[in-house]
Structure 1
Amino acid sequence: MSRHSMGLGGPPSPYEAGPEPADRSSVSRQPAYQSLRRSHRRFGVRATAVAVGGFLLYVLLSSFAPALMNTSVSGHLTIGLALGLGQFVLMSVIVWRYLVHMRTRVTPVVRGLRGLARHHETTGRERAAFEARTAPRDEEFRSW
């Protein structure tokens, strides 16, 4: 047993159960959470559409317009090779936009929701402690 579980103070052992998690349904009903989900979903749909669209365009042009893809741009560089290398650029831009989106739109809302969840946890713990202090204690005074 740890000092914490025996009531002697000190930090709790990492193997002991921590406080109850916040009520997820109360956080998920918050307008900020709903807005966060919509924003994240909207970005994901757009990014997926751009990535798949770029790949699909490349494959379709390669299949149905080989003469266009073999057109030389400069020296040995063809339009097909340039579009193939452009796929790396496209994915880099999508990843960069994802990071910017997370930093500017998602992270601030998540921090606020975490604070709200911690507030609910603290309030719940304080309420439970108050109820434990004020509850009748019949079981402590047993007859022999």
Structure 2
Amino acid sequence: MSRHSTRLGGPPPSFETPPAPAERRSVSQDPAYRSLRRAHRRFGARATAAAVGGFLLYVLLSSFVPGLMNRTVGGHLTVGLALGLGQFVLMAVIVWRYLVHMRTRITPAARGLRGLVRQQEEAAARERAATAPRVAPRAAEFRPW
């Protein structure tokens, strides 16, 4: 490494060490974190089941009951075409419910956990600063290119 890449011969820039595994485990063991993950998984499973179920119903009806799917609803609109367009409506409802779910249940819990993690990181940084050896700042070095 050249002198110039280490800021004129000084020590290389310091990088903060990631939190210790014990700190990460404490957050993952928190009941709020577990309920957050459970709520997120539960909604994901329900939304996936609704989307796949709606599509599977459409495919099965079009395969096994073509007489029903070809029945005219009005004008040139058939039951099959209406159900096909209903897939877009179903996806829009699922996306809307996802946004509502995230805004009302997931985001508040995530903010609370983020504050908890921030407090733990600040406490760990204070602890590291208290145990770190004190080093006097280096005098400014002026070197020619």
TM-score, normalised to structure 2's length? 0.78
Which 5+ residue runs of structure 1 have no aligned equivalent? 7-12, 135-144
Q: CA deviation at 1:132?
A: 3.0
- Deviation string, structure 1 residues 5-36 (Cα, Å, up to 9, x no partner): 98xxxxxx8xx634534732111010000000
Which 5+ residue runs of structure 2 have no aligned equivalent? 1-5, 135-145
Q: CA deviation at 1:133?
A: 6.0
Aligned partner of 1:86 in structure 2 is 86
Aligned partner of 1:118 in structure 2 is 118
TM-score, normalised to structure 1's length? 0.78
Q: Is 1:20 paired with 2:13?
A: no
Secondary structure of the 2:132 match is helix
Moved over 4 A (4+): none
Q: Is 1:33 paired with 2:36?
A: no
- Find the aligned partners of 1:38 and 1:89 in 2 and give their Cα distance: 27
RMSD over equivalenced CA pairs, Å? 2.2
Provide closer, same or farther for how the CA distance between residues 18 and 128 of structure 1 changes in structure 2, counting only shifts above 3 A: closer
Size of the aligned set, in residue pairs, is: 125
**Cα pair 1:51 1:91 within 8 Å, conserved:** yes
Provide closer, same or farther for how the CA distance between residues 127 and 27 of structure 1 changes in structure 2, counting only shifts above 3 A: same
Secondary structure of the 1:73 match is strand
**Cα pair 1:40 1:106 within 8 Å, conserved:** yes
Aligned partner of 1:107 in structure 2 is 107
**Cα pair 1:20 1:121 within 8 Å, conserved:** no
Aligned partner of 1:138 in structure 2 is none
